Amino acid sequence: MEYGPDPNAIYPNEAMKSICYIKNVITRPNIIVGDYTYYDDINGAEKFEERVTHHYEFIGDKLIIGKFCAIAKGIEFVMNGANHRMCSVTTYPFNIMGHGWEKATPTLADLPLKGDTVVGNDVWIGQNVTVMPGVHIGDGAIIAANSVVVKDVPPYHIAGGNPCKIIKKRFDDELIDYLLAIQWWNWPVRKIFNHLETLCSGDLTKIKEMK
C-alpha cells in the first residue's frame, strides 16, 4: 500500500510538471532541502537553483530548507555573495572589474556576512518573495506574496510586506508549543498518512486527540 508520493521523485504528480520536489533537483552542496518540500513554477520548477542567487562556495554560507515546505513561483533567496564592503568610503566592487582593480579585493572579514539562511518545516512562501541573507523563518510560518524578508520570522507566524513584518500568530502559544514539540513532519510516512484528516482539519483540538 502507498502512503503518499515518492519523496525521491522529481515530480510527485506526473500530471503536474509545474511542481517538483526541490531535494531531487539541486546539485550545489551548500543547498540542503528536506523531503516533500516543493517549488511551484510553470516555467520550470526543476530550475529552483536559479532562484538562489549570489551563492558562492568560497563564502561558505548555506541555504537550509526543512520538510513539507510549499514555495511559490518567483522566489529569490539572496545569499551573502550579494553583499558589498560597507566599512570603506565606497561600496563599489572595483575588484570584480579586473584590469588592475583586483588589488582592492575585500577580505571576507570586510563583508557584512549574515550566516546561513534557514527555512523551517511546513513553511508556506507566497509568490514573488525575496529572502535576504541570513534570515531564519520558523516552522509553520507563512510569508505573504511579494514580501521582502529582511528579519527572522518566528514559528507559526504570518508575515508580509516590504520590509516584511509580523502580521499575526497563526495559533495561540499553547498550540504553537505543542506543534513544535510533536514535529509532525518527522513522523513516519504511515503515521502522517493515518492522520491526514486531522492535520488538515479546521478543528484544531483534534491534533491533541490523536493516538
What tens digit of pLDDT does each residue of 55-92 get? 999 899 999 999 999 999 999 999 998 888 888 888 89
Q: pLDDT digits over 159-195, tens only?
A: 999 999 999 999 999 999 999 999 999 999 999 999 9
pTM of the prediction?
0.93
Arithmetic mean of pLDDT, 113-122? 96
Grouping H, G, I as helix, E, B as strand and the rest as coil, residue 152 is: coil
- Residue 102, pLDDT > 80, answer yes
Q: Which three cell numbers stand for residue 82?
A: 550579494
Q: Output Rg (C-alpha) for the chain, integer angstroms.
A: 19
pLDDT score for 93: 85
Q: Where are the alpha helices (DSSP H) in the chain?
A: 173-182, 189-194, 196-199
Kindly tell me if the per-residue pLDDT of 1 is higher than 80.
no
d(CA 75, CA 152): 17
54 is a catalytic site residue: no
Whether residue 119 is predicted with pLDDT greater than 90 in this model: the reply is yes
Q: What percentage of the chain carries pLDDT values higher than 90? A: 77
Find cell 532562484 and name the residue: 51
Q: What percent of the chain has pLDDT over 70?
A: 99
Q: What is the pLDDT of residue 74?
A: 97
Q: What is the pLDDT of residues 40-53, one digit of tens each?
A: 999 999 999 999 99
Q: Residue 199's pLDDT band (boundaries 50, 70, 90)?
A: very high
Q: What is the mean pLDDT of residues 93-121?
A: 89
What confidence score (pLDDT) does residue 211 get? Answer: 65
Which residue in 84, 99, 136, 195 is the catalytic one? 84
pLDDT at 182: 95
Q: Which residues, at least 6 apart from 177, have a Cβ–Cβ distance to it below 8 Å?
A: none
